[in-house]
Amino acid sequence: MVKYIILILSLFFFQTLKASEIVGFPKVIDGDTIQIKSYKIRLEGIDAPEIRQKCKKPYLQIMFLNFQKEYYCGQISKKKLSQKIGNKPIKCILFGKDRYKRYLAKCLKDKVNLNRWMVRNGYALAYRRYSKVYILDENFAKEEKLGLWKGTFIKPEKWRKQN
């Protein structure tokens, strides 16, 4: 009897795990949001600049003077995620939903964690308010001056409040 209960629970658990994954070819909405079929998915634990958000990056350095120019960092973030995914299917492991009813997920292309890749390369920040998972990756990008960290920017969460 115990064996049958364990078998039934195992099957139920397997079905639950299988149901909590979405696999497909994504449409990239922005640097932290994608859509697969009718599922709108927010990359869990990261925060990317908004599409209309401008940041600054150095373009000229003369002795001790640094000149910066504005660029649409949210568009760059989206572009880098799109390029990383390419025309390949991805797998997203769902953790729940956010207040906008988007699925929260860790998404993988082959074995690459796209959430981590975005933060580690400086195209998104660790969203510390909701997760501590990607803080070391953000520190790496900051130390290496990658992506956003090459220049100056307002954190996406603060930018959203101001705009």
- E strands, 73-138, are 90-97, 103-109, 112-113, 125-126
- Taking only the tens of pLDDT, the chain with its 163 residues reads 444 443 333 434 443 445 599 999 999 999 999 999 999 999 999 999 999 999 999 888 787 788 889 999 999 999 999 999 999 999 999 999 999 999 999 999 999 999 999 999 999 999 999 999 999 999 999 999 999 999 999 999 999 999 9
Structure tokens at 117: 């890749």
Domains of the chain by start residue, with CATH: 2-162 (2.40.50.90)
Q: What are the tokens at 130? A: 């909701």
pLDDT computed for residue 49 by the predictor:
98
Q: What is the pLDDT of residue 150?
A: 95
pLDDT at 65: 83
What phi and psi values does residue 72 have, to the nearest 5 degrees? -85, 90
Residue 131's pLDDT is 95
- Dump the DSSP string for the chain: -HHHHHHHHHHHHHHHHHHTEEEE-PEEEETTEEEETTEEEEETTEEPPPTT-EEEEEEEEETTEEEEEEEEHHHHHHHHHHHHHTT--EEEEEEEE-TTSPEEEEEEETTEEHHHHHHHTTSSEE-TTT--TTHHHHHHHHHHT-GGGGSB---HHHHHHH-
Instruction: Report CA Rg, the chain.
Output: 19
pLDDT (0 to 100) of residue 147: 97
The per-residue pLDDT for 64 is: 79
What is the structure's pLDDT at 117? Answer: 98
